[in-house]
Structures are given as structure tokens and as C-alpha cells.
Amino acid sequence: MKKLAGILFFVVHVTSFVAQSPRQQLSALEVLMNTDYSAIDSVMKQYPDDFNSFSYEERIEFHLLRMFWMQTSQSIHDTAYYTQLQKAQLLEHDQLILLSATEILDQREAFQFVPQLNSTPDSIQHRSIKVLFHAIKSYSNIQREIQWKFHANKAMKISRRSYSDMLPSIVVTIISTALEEKGHYTDAVKYQQKALNYAEENDLNLCMAAHKLKLAHVHYELGNVVKAKNYYADAMGLAKKINNTFLEAEALMCSGDLKVSTGNIKEGLYDLQRALILYYQESSDIGIANTHKELGRAYLQTQDLELAKENLELSRNYFNQIPARFGLGELYFFLAQLAYEQDQFSLALRHCNHSLNYTEQYGSTLRYYKILQLRSLVRSALGDDALAYKDLRTYVKFKDSISASELQSQVAELSELYEAEQKAKQISEQKRRIEEQRNQQLINEQKLENTELRNQRIILILFFSVILFLALFVIFYFRSKQRALRTQQREVELQQQLLRSQMNPHFLFNAMSVIQSYIYDNDLKNSSAFLVNFSRLMRLILENSEKEFIALSTELEILERFLKIQQARFEHRFNYEINTDDDIDLETTMIPPMVLQPFLENATEHGELHKVRNGKIRINYKIEKELLIFEIIDNGIGRKAAREKQESSTLKNHKSMAISITEQRIALLHQKYNRSGYVTIEDDDEKHETGTRVKVGIPIIR
């Protein structure tokens, strides 16, 4: 039913776009971005790559919209966009400017395209490209601490005359990124508030959410907790309003971080865990990395060093998978704190130096001096009192400086001025709405006279829409059949890979249900332990599902983590044991990944071990004649009872795929390596027809 609804949704949107001119299509995309982000996701991911009906200027505008869509979604670090943009049929300097702007918005650790930019404003014809050029020049000049306002003001002025209402937000994001890195918080707030005013005047909900998040970050850095909290709440409300799950998770994570930093650990952990669930739903590696980092920081404050270490290590693993530069400085700062708490002072010093390197290049000025304070403590613990005193003196000098207090005062004054302007706008807006209501009343009276004619038109439109949908469905069906025939040969080649990647989606759904139940019960300890175990299992699956063979030790770790999660699901009402063989080298013995998982799932799901007294699963393995023989033995209700329950349930036509999948995988291994295997299943207690004994012979590779 969901699949059919998705097809209907896509057909309606694509049909409406096809019927419009290119300029109308671009306007419709902008409206969707600020009203229903789930719709813009569907359209952007399915939008055609050919722009035959688009003029050159309109192709540029589409790439700008797509750039902003990427920046405010889980695909912010998607390198495929760079490849698509490099293949786009654009002028070389226009293409380079778009790539450079994307690089800055993407917050990459190393720039490839920005250093190549040597255009001049006179050589640029397209207005939006000229806006981006001035914004990038302003960014580069801020980084070099030279005059930057000329380019910044030029970019803002031209952007308001462009076709896209969202271009000023892109400009401000580029400029304020550099301002925050260099500690120019007052200027950053000024530009963010200018862009926020423009977004509010034009009802740009997505832009408002993005700017409120940025303003919240600045106030948080400066210690203005109340203002930061309010901005985070506003941003979360706007994100929910437009169905932007990624920005909602961002606001939740930052709100949780703020609560933890102010001592409200319990509520902070609750927000962080909710954010982590949303990031997993969106498959956002950067979001998962940052949330595990903040969870590690929270457990540092509660002195739960084991959970702190596990979350920080998970964060580092995810950061290693993406080219992000922001967040690493703070991660190494927390790792340094952890090492210091564990009296590992040499390790803490190394982490402090890593943190300073990242923060000096990409982080905030205020956080840089906090790291110096920690390094002073570490060096003192190592006996290096001279360098410790030097770090402490630098930190104290900054903390006691007039500039630091003036900075907070200036930002506070800007915020108060902005709030006063907002109140004046609200009064003016109320007067305007009263006048609009009067006008609307007159319009409604006129509309009532044409109700019958309008209803007739609606019926005709619905009729032709149904006809159009049926025609599109028929075309879609026959094209799908043709594509299936063309890809049949490719499916044969990919069959091995696809069979290896089998993973029951019910397991993921059930695991998420357990996490949510812990969270709703405020069981933070169990929810955190479950999340860590679940995250590690997901990482193991993601890292190994694409491999043809993995070490036996890795396969056993996957099985054990899977069984631990199943135990938690069923409230530890069954036990398990894995009997190891010391004569087998677990690291050099290679087998296909995730062969046994379907049988373990059958044992726990259909064997009803949680209802059997002393329910238990035993896993034994040994090597015989170049085969690794696995035995999975459970004392569940047995195959006959399970089959009878299945036939009496609504799933009577369901057939387990475990045997079929495993036999196909073993058959493919036989075709490729000329080594045979087998699968047998029998009752463990043949007399009473209870329990199940599965025996799997797997060809091994050394």
C-alpha cells in the first residue's frame, strides 16, 4: 500500500511539473522546499538529468536550488553531486564557481576547487553566478584577515535582485561560516539576522530554520543559553512544519548538547537519543557521528567513562567515513578529557594537540582557548610546568580580556535590537492581516457565486487526472518490463552480491521499537547500552556485507551481537552459548558473511524460545574435509508446532527464505570455486518432535 501511495505521489508531482514552463517548474520547486520537504526530496531524487527545455540561465538556477537542498538534507556529503556538476554542460568558470560554493557549504576538510578560482566579475554574465563569486571572495578574504565587506555587501545586494528568493540564504551561509571560524561573532550575527529578516518577509520556512539554527549556535558559543534555547526550539518547530527530518534532528541534537552543558543531563540524553534515531532513519553519517560525540561528552559529565569511550570511538569511526572538517576538533577535545580522567596523560596531550590543530583551522576562537586550558592541566600532570603555565597564562589572558566581554555585549545588543524590530513588525503585520481579512471576505462572497461552475471544473480535472494516471501507469508498467529484460543478464552477475546482503527488515524495525520503548520509559542506561550494541552491529554489517569472504572471528562477533539484541528484545528469557574450537584459527579462516543469521532469526522468532522453560541456543563448529560445519541447536517448540501455528495465523502463505538463500549461496560458491556444501534441518528431540538442529556445511577459504 505504501509503495502504491509513493508511486501516486511521484506521478502527481512529476505530472504537474511537466505541464509547466521551466521558470514555473523552478518556482514550484522553491515552494516545495519551504512547505513540504518530503515532497522536494522525492522530486529532486527523481528529477530528469536532461535540461533540453531549460535555458542556460534556468539550468544555473536549478543547480543552485539543488545545492541548497543538499545543504539542508542528509546528503550534505554526497560526492555524487560533484561528479554530476563536473559533467554538466556549463561554462568552465561558472562550473568552477558552483563547485567552489558547494565545497564551502559542504565544509570539506581540504578544498580542491576554491584555490583554482581566478575569475573576475567582468567575465561573469549570469547574475546568480556573480553573486556566488563575490560570496566566495568574501569567504577567502575573511580567512586571510583582509578586507572582506566589499565582496560581502556586493553579494547581498545583487542576490536580492536574482530570480531565486533563497540565494541570499546561500550567500549568508558562505560568509558567516568564515566569520564564525575566525571568531567574528558580531558580524556573523548581523548577516544572519539580515538573512532571517529577508526569509521572514518572503515566507521562506526552510531558510528561517537554517538561520535560526546558526544564530542558536553563536549564542551557545557565547554562553547566552536562554537565547540559544529559544532559537533551537523555533528551528525545530519550523523543521517539523515543513517535514525536514534532518534539520529537526539537528535542532534536537544541539538542544540536547545545550541541556547537557547546563547540567540537565537526563533531558539532554533523551534529546540526543531521539536525534540519533532520526539520523539513523535518514542514513546521515555526519549526524550519527556528531550525536555519538555529544553522547560521549554527556557520559563524561556523569563519569560513566565506559559508555563515554564507546560513544566517542563510534563517533570517530563515522567521522573517518566522511570528508567533514567540522566536529573533529571537538571530538578530539572530548577524547583528551576522557584520557585525562583515566590518567592517560600522554594520550591526552596527543588528543589536545590534534584538537588544537583542527580548531585553529576550522573551529571557534572561544573553544580554542578552552582546549588550551585542558592542555595546561595535562602538561602539569606530566610534570612539564613551564609549558603548562604558558598555556594557562594564554587562556587566562583571553578570558579576562575586555574584547571577550565586549563581544558578548555586542551580540546581546544586536539580539535585543532584532527583537524590538520583530515586535514592530508583528504590530504592522496584525494591521495588514485585518485588512486582508476584509478583502478576503469580499473575495469569498464573489467565489460563492461561482461554486457550481468551479465544482464542474474540479470533476473534469479529476476525470482527466485519472485518465492521465492510468495512461502513465500503463507506460510505466511496460517500461518496467523492458528494463527487467535488459537487466536480467546483469542480475545474474550481481546475484552473489545481492544474496550476501540479505537482512530481515523486521529485525531493524523491532530493534528500533526496543530503543524507543527504553527511551519512553526513561531507561537511559539500557537505551544507551542497546544503542551502542546496535550501532556496532550495523557498522559490522555495513563494512562486511559487500565482502565475498570475512574472517570467522568477524562472523562470530556479528552472531553474538545479533543474539544480544534478540535477548534484549525478549527480556533475556532465553540464553545462548557459542562453543569455540581452539584448533581453528579465527583470523585466517574465511567464510561468506552472515550465512547463519537467518537460522538464528528463525530460532528466536518461530521457535518461541522466550516461551519455553530454560530456552537456549547452542552453536558448535568444526572443520571436516575443507568444510566448516556449523550446528545450531535450540530447544524451542519444534518445526511441527511452528508450522501448525503458522498455518493457523494470517501468515499461512509465508515461507521462510533461510534455507533457499543459504542453498543458493552455497551453490554459487560451488560454481565459482568448485567446492560443495550442504544444509540439513531436523528435530533435536525426534520422539517429542521438539527443538531444532540445523547443520550447515560451508566451503572455507584460507
| Interacting residues of 22 by C-beta distance below 8 A, sequence separation 6+ | 53, 54, 55, 58
494 confidence band (pLDDT: 50, 70, 90): very low
Half-sphere exposure of 328 (CA within 13 A, CB side): 21
Q: Are strands 574-579 and 690-699 parallel, antiparallel or unpaired?
A: unpaired
CB 270 within 8 A of CB 258: no
Contacts of 680 (CB under 8 A, 6+ apart): 694, 695
Please give the average per-residue pLDDT across 481-504, as a whole number. Answer: 48
Confidence label for 625 from pLDDT (cuts 50, 70 and 90): confident
Q: What is the pLDDT of residue 272?
A: 93
pLDDT score of 350 more than 90: yes
Instruction: Please tell me which of 18-22, 115-119, 243-247 the model is most confident about, judged by mean pLDDT.
Output: 243-247
Residue 291: pLDDT over 90: yes
On whether the CB atoms of residues 213 and 235 are closer than 8 A, the answer is yes
Distance CA 417, CA 237 (A): 23
Question: Per-residue pLDDT for 416 more than 70?
Answer: no
83 confidence band (pLDDT: 50, 70, 90):
confident
Q: Taken in order 88, 92, 97, 100, is the CA torsion positive or negative?
A: positive
Q: What does the pLDDT read at residue 235?
A: 92
Share of the chain above pLDDT 70, in %: 81
**Maximum Cα–Cα distance for the chain, whole Å?**
90
pLDDT at 236 over 90: yes
Stretch among 280-289, 663-672, 677-686 having the lowest mean pLDDT = 663-672
- Is the alpha carbon torsion for 314, 316, 321, 324 positive or negative? positive
pLDDT at 358 over 70: yes
C-alpha angle 515/270/274, rounded to 5°?
A: 55
CA–CA–CA angle 509, 515, 521 (5° rounding): 135
Q: What is the band of 9 on the pLDDT scale with cuts at 50, 70, 90?
A: very low
Segment 562-568 shows an average pLDDT of 86
Q: Using only C-alpha atoms, what is the Rg of the chain?
A: 30
| 648 exposure class (CB count in 10 Å sphere: 0-12, 13-18, 19+) | exposed
Please say whether the beta carbons of 525 and 266 come within 8 A. Answer: no
| Band (491; pLDDT cuts 50, 70, 90) | very low
pLDDT at 442: 67
Residue 661: its pLDDT value, please?
A: 73
**pLDDT at residue 273 in the model:** 93
Query: How would you label 679-701 residue by residue, b for 16+ Cβ within 10 Å and e otherwise?
Result: beeeebeeeeebbbbbebbbbbe
What count of other Cβ atoms lies within 10 Å of the Cβ of residue 268? Answer: 23
User: What is the model's pLDDT at position 499?
Assistant: 43
Q: Which residues, 6 or more positions from 279, have their beta carbon under 8 angstroms from its beta carbon?
A: 74, 249, 253, 287, 288, 291
- Give CA 227 to chain center in angstroms: 26
Say what the pLDDT of residue 646 is.
Answer: 73
Which residues neighbour 348 within 8 Å (Cβ) at sequence distance 6 or greater? 336, 337, 339, 340, 374, 378
pLDDT score recorded for residue 427: 62
Which burial class, exposed, middle or buried, applies to 563 when counting CB atoms under 10 A from its CB (0-12, 13-18, 19+)?
buried
Lowest mean pLDDT among 157-166, 214-223, 478-487, 612-621: 478-487
| Contact of 638 with 628, CB cutoff 8 Å | no
**Mean pLDDT (whole number) for 277-295:** 89
User: Phi/psi at 607 (nearest 5 deg)?
Assistant: -75, -10
β-strand 615-624 against 574-579: which pairing, if any? parallel
Q: Greater confidence, 250 or 463?
A: 250
- How far apart, in Å, do the first and last CA atoms of the chain sit? 47
**pLDDT surpasses 90 at 446:** no
Nearest C-alpha neighbor of 555 from the set 606, 599, 529, 592: 592
Q: How high is the pLDDT of residue 366? A: 63
Q: What is the model's pLDDT at position 619?
A: 93
pLDDT value of position 506: 55
Residue 424 pLDDT level (bands cut at 50, 70, 90): low
Q: What is the pLDDT of residue 596?
A: 85
pLDDT-derived band at 252, boundaries 50, 70, 90? very high
Looking at residues 14-31, what average pLDDT do you find? 72
The pLDDT tens digits of the residues spanning 365-385 come to 667 778 888 899 999 999 988
User: What pLDDT score was predicted for residue 662?
Assistant: 76
CA 566 to chain centre: 26
Mean pLDDT of 51-55: 76
CA quadruple 464, 468, 30, 161: dihedral, nearest 10: -70
Q: Are 335 and 374 in contact (CB under 8 A)?
A: no
| Stretch 308-328: mean pLDDT | 84
Query: Taking 60 as the threshold, does the pLDDT of residue 76 lie above it?
Result: no
Give the span between the Cα atoms of 70 and 359, in whole angstroms: 25
| Grid coordinates belonging to 369 | 582557548
Pick the residue with more confidence: 541 or 504? 541
Mean pLDDT, rounded, for 445-460: 72
- The whole-angstrom separation of Cα 125 and Cα 158 is 13
Domains defined for the chain, CATH in brackets: 545-699 (3.30.565.10)
Mean pLDDT of the chain: 79
Q: What is the pLDDT of residue 490?
A: 44
pTM (two decimals)? 0.61
Q: Which residue has the higher pLDDT, 86 or 363?
A: 86
Q: Which range scores top for mean pLDDT: 13-17, 398-402, 464-468?
A: 464-468
Asked if 341 and 305 touch (Cβ cutoff 8 Å), the reply is yes
- The residues, ordered by sequence, that sit 6+ positions from 83 with a Cβ below 8 Å of its Cβ are none
Q: Are 295 and 269 in contact (CB under 8 A)?
A: yes
Do residues 608 and 636 lie in contact, with contact meaning Cβ atoms separated by under 8 Å? yes
pLDDT for residue 16 = 53
